[in-house]
Structure 1
Amino acid sequence: MALACFLSRSAETALRISHCLRKKKKAMLANPPILTRLTLGNLFLIYLSIFDNAVNETIAEE
């Protein structure tokens, strides 16, 4: 009995958490970060993905 109660409550909690995360993800995708100039002297990272029909590049400052 206790296990069934625990499982049903954990499912409710997980549902609330996933709903909250979905809202935050939607808000983040609606307002992407603004592109800015890199600061001279700071290190930056280049992420590069190459496929047969697509190339993707991202530059991030540390």
Structure 2
Amino acid sequence: MRATAPAVVVPGWDCVIKAIEALSTALREQRTRLGAWQESGSTDTEQLRVAVRGYRDFLDRVLGR
């Protein structure tokens, strides 16, 4: 039995791949923003609050909340 590439079997597969890549990129960017606060050694909790809220808002949009 020969397996066929998903792009051939599923119409619009390229769109799914692009959406997953865009989501992965956005998640990495959010993680970088949150990590930047941590790496800076800042004690400014307002910066942390804003970073966490942005991350939460992003995840809420992704999850459709």
- What TM-score, normalized by structure 2, do the two folds share? 0.42
Bigger radius of gyration, 1 or 2?
Answer: 1
Would you tell me which structure has more helix in proportion to its own residues? 2
